[in-house]
Amino acid sequence: MSPDAGHEDLLRDPSLYFNRELSHLDFNFRVLAQAQDPSVPLLERLRYLCISCNNLDEFFEIRAGTLQHAQELGLAPGPDGLVATETLSRIHDRAAELVAQQYRCWNDVLRPALTSTGIRVLHRDGWTEAQEAWLRGYFRDEILPVLSPLGLDPAHPFPKILNKSLNIVVVLEGRDAFGRAGHLAIVRAPRSLPRIIQLPEKLSGGPSDFVFLSAVLSAFVDELFPGMEVKGAYQFRVTRNSELLVDEEEVQNLALALKDELLGRGYMRAVRLEIAEQCPQDIVETLLQNFELPASAVYRINGPVNLNRVTQVYDLVKRPDLKFPPFTPRLPAGVESMFETIADHDMLLHHPFDAFTPVLELIRQSAEDPQVLAIKQTLYRAGKDSPIVEHLIQAARNGKDVTVVVELRARFDEEANIGLADRLQAAGVQVVYGVVGYKTHAKMLLIVRREGAKMRRYVHLGTGNYHSGTARAYTDLGLLTADPDIGHDVHLIFQQISGLAPSLELRRMLQAPFTLHSGMLMRIEREAQNARAGKPASIIAKMNALNEPQVIRALYRASQAGVRVDLIVRGACSLRPGVPGVSDNIHVRSIVGRFLEHSRVYCFENGGEPELFCGSADWLERNLLRRVETGFVILDPRVARRIRSEVLENYLADNVNAWELQADGHYAHVQPNGEAAHSAQLRLLAKHCA
């Protein structure tokens, strides 16, 4: 074995890698910390609590469900050396800790704080006689007519329980009209019922008294079983694996196959059971047996099992003093004539601080401009009632050649995207479903315009989705350019996706699954070589997650060569920083603030001639090796300087919303320590927004 091979083996040591799933889970502790931060407006703290709950739901639906499948298949361990069984065990312990913190935050911190401001989420034992009477009437008029309780006996087996639905298991005593002995019954809350009920102002002296539906069901459930005695009523919720498994190579029509799969998604295999803390163990055992779950899948809950539903209070309460102040994104100059503006210079959009309007305007103007001949676009998530979709439909009606790559497998947007594809096709748009086996995650827009005797390409490339809503809530970057080389590359990528083209020779861009991975590895190694030669060498990269083993090993080698590596990784990070002799030159931080960090930037010092890329891909195995992604170089020096300043240097200076990853896997909250407080997001709001 060569010395280099031996060194490479040392970098494969499992102790140098954090488990991706556990790191993913830990992100939610940082989100929950926002809910516990008294400097954050109170209703925003409530929203952060609900985000952490929703994130945990999705973690079990996707990550835990996938691990469960890997456990059954006996798959080999990952780079961290953990097999699926051990990972699932550790997930249970860590998730139980997170759940305990979430409910302490709700019961001991946020609910009392809300009460002190006049916003009350009332427990059953806190109802006045008038409130209880009104709620009983509400139960009889609004809830009872849509309930279908089911007593469990040989003629009535355990009903199907929908994923994440609210249910009550009722313990009964006595006999019904048919002489059947009562034991257990299940009451399922239809999704048509509101989970948070707002009490009339006349009953509370104010407009901000609320009750959970689960409390109302438990209080009046006896009315469903006349003549029988209710000995106990316990809410529960089951979470199911929601990862769709469609063998694309075996289906004739991907859209039809996904439609069939979606019908059963809500009833796939169970992965978690949440149940009221005081529920007797024998009932828990009955539920576990029905859902085919081990005891380790149980989470006893000190409060409503669907705590995330309290987010409705945020929407219902009109208290701007308890929310983040509103802002108006900056509208760049030149929007009135997008083609002239982009032809003159590249335009950078930094959302949400810059408005999404230029992207919408470019598509709208393209739909109306008689010189525009073709529009091609990828849509991964577009959102409901998307203005982009309306503009594309209008473009097709105006005789433009419009091609849209709709990714049907965008997780939890599958149904919406199938409907979107149908609607576009009905309007005459050519719809492409992407490439079999590879999700199309790239964010690209190409417009072909005749200008005199020549054809010119205008391009938008982004790090985030074409979704007006997330453009107000996520930080993302978008580049608008008429650079001929980039237009050439985007044209070829669209041809490859929609046709059966061979691998491409791109001029300026990198593309997964072909050149993005190798391109990143080459540039990391180049920094290591420059450091050894005494040339300027550094790497700064910002992304959502990092787990690709070859990239991690390349970063370790760069660190060993003396390269300073700064990583801004919002969520899961499998790289272990700060290991002497391996990663002591690598620093990892996570920013959790008002906006969800979503932009991807990769910057290489390149011996004093910095090379900066933006892209749609995180440094994850799936993004680099199993998806269609793009990395686009920033050619305009002015744009590159702005990205370095606003996105990299600004975030590395953050000492308010930053968390630094330690060698032991713990994230330490960065403190100003006598320096002036620097919040990267607040700086950008102050700079760009009104």
Strands 444-451 and 454-462: antiparallel
| Look-up of token digits 């979430």 | 102
The rounded distance, in Å, linking the Cα atoms of 155 and 148 is: 16
User: Residues near 70 by Cβ (< 8 Å), separated by ≥ 6?
Assistant: 84
CB 591 within 8 A of CB 568: yes
Q: What is the CA 319 to chain-centroid distance, rounded?
A: 27
Residue at 314: amino acid letter: Y
CB 396 within 8 A of CB 371: no
Q: How many CA atoms lie within 13 A of 447 on its CB side?
A: 30
Which one, of 333, 342, 351, lies nearest residue 369 by Cα? Answer: 342
CB 543 within 8 A of CB 570: yes
The rounded distance, in Å, linking the Cα atoms of 619 and 600 is: 9
CB 605 within 8 A of CB 536: yes
Q: In what order do the strands lie in the sheet with 209-212?
A: 120-121, 209-212, 196-198
Helix axes 414-426, 387-397, angle to 10 degrees: 20
Which conformational region is residue 412 in: left (phi greater than 0), alpha (psi within -120 to 50 degrees), or beta?
A: left
Distances (CA, A) of 296 to 166, 175, 595: 21, 35, 34
The rounded distance, in Å, linking the Cα atoms of 100 and 53 is: 11
Which one, of 538, 508, 510, 526, lies nearest residue 617 by Cα? Answer: 510
* CA-based end-to-end distance of the chain: 63
Q: Which two tokens stand for residue 164?
A: 């994440």
Q: Which two tokens stand for residue 137?
A: 């009437």
In the chain, how many H helices and how many E strands? Answer: 22, 27
User: Residues near 311 by Cβ (< 8 Å), separated by ≥ 6?
Assistant: 46, 47, 50
Other CB atoms within a 10 A radius of the CB of residue 134 amount to 18
Q: Which two tokens stand for residue 213?
A: 């539906």
| Look-up of token digits 């309780």 | 149
Residue of 92, 350, 351, 441 marked active site: 441
CB 167 within 8 A of CB 304: no
Q: Is 688 marked active-site?
A: no
Residue 480 dihedral angles phi and psi, to the nearest 5°: -110, 120
The rounded distance, in Å, linking the Cα atoms of 587 and 165 is: 42
Q: What is the four-CA torsion angle of 36, 40, 41, 44, rounded to 10 degrees?
A: -70
Which one, of 472, 447, 473, 475, lies nearest residue 460 by Cα? Answer: 447
Question: In terms of C-beta density within 10 A (0-12 exposed, 13-18 middle, 19 or more buried), how is residue 28 classed?
Answer: buried
Residue 596 dihedral angles phi and psi, to the nearest 5°: -75, 120
Strands 509-512 and 627-633: antiparallel
CB 84 within 8 A of CB 174: no
Which conformational region is residue 525 in: left (phi greater than 0), alpha (psi within -120 to 50 degrees), or beta?
A: alpha
Active site residues: 441
